[in-house]
Structure 1
Amino acid sequence: MGNQIANVPRNAASLWTTYTIPNGNLAGLGFGLGLFYVGEREADLANSFQVPSYVRTDAALFYRRGNLDLAFNVRNLFDVDYIDAVDDALRVYVADPLTFQFSVTYLF
Structure 2
Amino acid sequence: MEPISLYFSYSQSFKQPNSSRTFDGSVLPPESGTQYEVGVKAELIKDRLSATFAAYDITKENVATTDPNHTDFSIAAGEVKSRGLEFDLYGQILPGWNVIASLFHNDAFVSKDNTLPVGDSLVNAPGSGASLWTTYQIQDGDWKGLGFGGGVFYTGDREAELPNTFKIPSYVRADATIFYKRDNWRVGLNFKNLFGTRYYDSQGSYSCSHFC
Shorter chain as normaliser: what TM range? 0.7 to 0.9
Q: CA separation in 1, counterparts of 2:162 and 2:174?
A: 29
Residue 206 of structure 2 corresponds to 94
Residue 50 of structure 1 corresponds to 167
| Per-residue Cα deviation, 1:28-86 (whole angstroms, up to 9, x for no partner) | 00011111000111111211101111000000000001122011000111111111111
Q: CA separation in 1, counterparts of 2:161 and 2:129?
A: 18
Residue 119 of structure 2 corresponds to 2
Q: CA separation in 2, counterparts of 1:85 and 1:22?
A: 41
2:197–2:208: 8 Å Cα contact kept in structure 1? no
Residue 75 of structure 1 corresponds to 192
More contact order relative to length (CA 8 Å, sep ≥ 6)? 1
Q: CA separation in 2, counterparts of 1:3 and 1:67?
A: 50
Q: 2:183 aligns with which of 66, 75, 92?
A: 66
Residue 155 of structure 2 corresponds to 38
Q: 1:19 aligns with which of 110, 127, 136?
A: 136
Residue 85 of structure 1 corresponds to 202
Q: CA separation in 2, counterparts of 1:65 and 1:31?
A: 14
One-letter code of the match for 2:142?
N
Q: Larger radius of gyration, structure 1 or 2?
A: 2
Q: CA separation in 2, counterparts of 1:48 and 1:5?
A: 12
Number of residue-to-residue matches in the alignment: 94
Q: 2:145 aligns with which of 15, 28, 35?
A: 28
Task: Give identity over the alignment, percent.
Answer: 47
One-letter code of the match for 1:10?
G
Gap regions ≥5 residues in structure 1: 87-91, 99-108
One-letter code of the match for 1:33?
G
2:151–2:175: 8 Å Cα contact kept in structure 1? yes
| Greater percentage in strand | 2
Q: CA separation in 2, counterparts of 1:96 and 1:56?
A: 10
Computed over aligned residues only, the root mean square deviation of the Cα atoms, in angstroms, reads 1.5
What TM-score does the superposition give when structure 1 sets the normalisation length?
A: 0.82
Q: CA separation in 2, counterparts of 1:25 and 1:45?
A: 58
